[in-house]
């Protein structure tokens, strides 16, 4: 059985503890690899390596850092099929999705930030202040310097995609990195380290420590030599990180959970809205933080949209994630499936109507290899009180609830009535309404007549309990650098 390793100071090493965690293929339930069960001592080594590499890496001219990241992107591209397969086995996502989204987006993340540092513009102010006998003149300009060792912690739903989304801007701006990928899905981070070495990333610039959140994860958060932390994961853990990092006065970016509304007005292109709502609800088995998990639809068109959604669920190709034809694979673990199933049970108990799904996929519908896998049917639930737990808490699985409204104000009120504020989608043909509603929705990202159409230059992140700070474009370059004002008297 394959044993993954940590990557510290340019070397692949076993964990100091000699302990290992099983890595499960969720589509079969079988253990197929082992990953380091690291602890604080591995983090200590990794942070020392990153700190030692920082002076030289931060002094490398930006075009050379950029070249290394472009080379890494090229290596990801030439290994695309291997990475897509690894991501599919590790997470349960359809290989077609990994080929179409996870791997291309990981490559794009690297290329985007490798290019962005070459084009980043500075800030300059001509100062002209009245003074005795005339004026005092100066030039004020801002230098942006890398901050040191960045601790990057990522979840299991988009492992390589979210890891590269953080690594690329951190390294491009001259920081060194200690990354802690999810212990549930460590494989592509491990493969990335081999490619990083091949790309010529100097030892210590990128370090990866595998293991549990409360072990190397917590040690990284609390480490005094890691001034910058970028975390994507649950709101519960994000809150703990904010508290711990706050005490240490670290700079923190938190990308957390969501309960995203998907609003369909009665003037929308309903076929497009229903198709997109299905994609928004069930892509990656509903395990994308941006998933539209609350469908909020005008009463006059609700039946039509819900019927179309149920029809989509009836025809979607559920199966072995490694089958090219599969559209809908396994949840990421059996534990997670039980949480999702528990929320659907709660919905039933609260009087919700399960329009479709609401159960594990019958083994007879799956190939024999997948009999022990974590497969749950795409599920649509109507008739719940918008204030109930199922409507308020993130499920992070293939479950969409439906609410109806009569007026635009009601739609906005329903959309905003959760503690989260990550993404919102609205479908309408009325341009004025689109602008009005987009401005009124509590969300870091609003999509109008589309979903998950991403431009890497835009600010990305959530409000309320969905996070603190923004990633993407100039926001990420600012996050990973320290501004220094220089005032030069003329
Ligand atoms: P999680 O919070 O359980 O774990 C995320 C990462 O944090 C893992 O690597 C984990 O090992 C680590 N971790 C756990 N406890 C820690 C601790 N005490 N200190 C340091 N690290 C710790 O989340 P998950 O279950 O892996 O991922 C699902 C969650 O991620 C969902 O809530 C989803 O909405 C969220 N998510 C958000 C975004 C976004 O951009 N806003 C994107 C993807 C996923």
Instruction: Report pLDDT digits (tens) over 175-188.
Output: 999 999 999 999 99
- With H, G, I as helix, E, B as strand and everything else as coil, classify residue 423: strand
Q: Measuring from atom 19 of ligand 1, which residue has the nearest CA?
A: 218
- Does residue 122 or residue 236 have the better pLDDT? 236
Tell me the CA–centroid distance for residue 163 and ligand 1, in Å: 12
Nearest to 232, CA basis, from 289, 332, 154, 290: 154
What pLDDT is recorded for position 86?
98
- For 102-106, which contacts have Cβ atoms below 8 Å and span 24 or more sequence positions? 102/158, 102/159, 102/160, 102/161, 103/76, 103/160, 104/80, 105/161, 105/164, 105/454, 106/76, 106/160, 106/161, 106/163, 106/164
What pLDDT is recorded for position 283?
98
Q: Known catalytic residue: 394?
A: no
Q: Tell which atom from ligand 1 comes closest to the C-alpha of 238.
A: 2
**pLDDT > 70: percent of the chain:** 100
Nearest to 422, CA basis, from 238, 267, 203, 244: 238
Q: Tell which atom from ligand 1 comes closest to the C-alpha of 235.
A: 32
Q: Calculate mean pLDDT across residues 85-114.
A: 98
| pLDDT-based confidence at residue 104 (cuts at 50, 70, 90) | very high
| pLDDT-based confidence at residue 413 (cuts at 50, 70, 90) | very high
| pLDDT-based confidence at residue 391 (cuts at 50, 70, 90) | very high
Answer whether 374 contacts ligand 1 (Cβ < 6 A). no
- With H, G, I as helix, E, B as strand and everything else as coil, classify residue 166: helix
| pLDDT-based confidence at residue 192 (cuts at 50, 70, 90) | very high
Beta-bridge mates of residue 446: 424
Scanning 227-363, the segments in alpha helix (DSSP H) are 235-247, 270-282, 299-315, 334-349
Whole-angstrom distance, CA of residue 479 vs CA of residue 63:
20
Tell me the CA–centroid distance for residue 160 and ligand 1, in Å: 14
Answer whether 258 contacts ligand 1 (Cβ < 6 A). yes
Whole-angstrom distance, CA of residue 224 vs CA of residue 350:
47
Q: Of the residues 210, 237, 253, 286, which should be mutated to test ligand 1's pocket, given the most ligand atoms within 8 Å of the CB? A: 237
Whole-angstrom distance, CA of residue 366 vs CA of residue 378:
15
Q: Measuring from atom 42 of ligand 1, which residue has the nearest CA?
A: 289
Answer whether 180 contacts ligand 1 (Cβ < 6 A). yes
Q: Tell which atom from ligand 1 comes closest to the C-alpha of 156.
A: 26
Q: Tell which atom from ligand 1 comes closest to the C-alpha of 236.
A: 2
Q: Calculate mean pLDDT across residues 76-103.
A: 98
pLDDT per position as a tens digit, 444-477: 999 999 999 999 999 999 999 999 999 999 999 9
What pLDDT is recorded for position 178?
99
Catalytic member of 25, 87, 289, 475: 289
Tell me the CA–centroid distance for residue 257 and ligand 1, in Å: 9
CATH of 261-455, picked from 3.40.50.1820, 3.40.50.720, 2.80.10.50, 3.40.309.10, is: 3.40.309.10
In order of 305, 396, 416, 421, 481, the CA distances from 263 in angstroms are 11, 19, 11, 14, 37
Tell me the CA–centroid distance for residue 178 and ligand 1, in Å: 16
- With H, G, I as helix, E, B as strand and everything else as coil, classify residue 230: strand
**pLDDT > 90: percent of the chain:** 98
Fold of 2-256+466-489: Aldehyde Dehydrogenase; Chain A, domain 1 (3.40.605)
Q: Which two tokens stand for residue 143?
A: 């230098």
Q: Calculate mean pLDDT across residues 196-209.
A: 98
Catalytic member of 255, 391, 394, 475: 255
Q: Can you give the residue ranges of every domain in the chain?
A: 2-256+466-489, 261-455
Q: Measuring from atom 38 of ligand 1, which residue has the nearest CA?
A: 289
What pLDDT is recorded for position 76?
98
Tell me the CA–centroid distance for residue 420 and ligand 1, in Å: 15
Q: Calculate mean pLDDT across residues 357-378.
A: 97
Q: Calculate mean pLDDT across residues 394-422.
A: 98
What pLDDT is recorded for position 463?
97
| 395: CB partners within 8 A, 6+ apart | 286, 293, 339, 340, 343
Q: Known catalytic residue: 289?
A: yes
Answer whether 214 contacts ligand 1 (Cβ < 6 A). yes
What pLDDT is recorded for position 24?
98
In terms of phi and psi (left: phi > 0; alpha: psi -120 to 50; beta: otherwise), the region of 209 is beta
């Amino acid at each position: 059985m394959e044993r993954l390793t940590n990557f510290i100071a340019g070397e692949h090493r076993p964990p100091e503890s000699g302990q290992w965690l099983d890595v499960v293929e969720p589509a079969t339930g079988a253990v197929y690899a082992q990953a380091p069960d690291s602890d604080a001592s591995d983090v200590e080594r990794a942070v020392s390596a990153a700190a030692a590499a920082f002076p030289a890496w931060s002094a490398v001219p930006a075009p050379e850092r950029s070249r290394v990241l472009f080379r890494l992107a090229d290596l990801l591209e030439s290994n695309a099929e291997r990475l897509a397969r690894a991501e599919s086995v590790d997470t349960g996502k359809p290989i077609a999705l990994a080929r179409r989204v996870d791997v291309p987006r990981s490559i794009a993340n690297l290329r985007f930030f490798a290019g962005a540092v070459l084009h980043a513009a500075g800030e300059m102010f001509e100062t002209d202040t009245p003074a005795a006998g005339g004026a005092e003149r100066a030039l004020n300009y801002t230098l942006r310097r890398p901050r040191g060792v960045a601790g990057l912690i990522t979840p299991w739903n988009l492992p390589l995609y979210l890891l590269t989304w953080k690594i690329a801007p951190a390294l491009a701006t001259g920081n060194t990195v200690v990354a802690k990928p999810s212990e549930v899905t460590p494989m592509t981070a491990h493969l990335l380290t081999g490619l990083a070495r091949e790309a010529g990333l100097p030892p210590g610039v990128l370090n990866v420590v595998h293991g549990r959140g409360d072990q190397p994860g917590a040690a990284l958060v609390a480490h005094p030599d890691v001034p910058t932390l970028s975390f994507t994961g649950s709101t519960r853990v994000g809150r703990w990180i904010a508290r711990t990092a706050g005490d240490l006065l670290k700079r923190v970016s938190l990308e957390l959970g969501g309960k995203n509304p998907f609003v369909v007005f009665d003037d929308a292109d309903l076929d497009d809205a229903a198709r997109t709502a299905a994609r928004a609800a069930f892509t990656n088995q509903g395990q994308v933080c941006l998933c539209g998990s609350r469908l909020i639809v005008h009463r006059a068109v609700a039946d039509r949209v819900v019927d179309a959604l149920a029809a989509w669920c009836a025809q979607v190709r559920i199966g072995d994630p490694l089958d090219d034809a599969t559209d809908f694979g396994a949840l990421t673990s059996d534990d997670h499936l039980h949480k999702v199933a528990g929320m659907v049970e709660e919905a039933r108990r609260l009087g919700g109507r399960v329009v479709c799904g609401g159960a594990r996929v019958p083994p007879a519908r799956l190939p024999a290899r997948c009999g022990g896998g974590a497969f749950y049917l795409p599920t649509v639930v109507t008739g719940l009180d918008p204030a109930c737990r199922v409507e308020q808490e993130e499920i992070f699985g293939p479950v969409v609830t439906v609410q109806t409204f009569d007026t635009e104000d009601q739609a906005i009120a329903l959309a905003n009535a959760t503690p989260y504020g990550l993404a919102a989608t609205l479908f309408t043909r009325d341009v004025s309404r689109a602008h009005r509603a987009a401005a009124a929705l509590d969300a870091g990202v609003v999509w109008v007549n589309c979903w998950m159409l991403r431009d890497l230059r835009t600010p990305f992140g959530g409000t309320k309990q969905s996070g603190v700070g923004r990633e993407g474009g100039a926001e990420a370059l600012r996050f990973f650098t320290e501004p220094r004002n220089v005032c030069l008297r003329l």
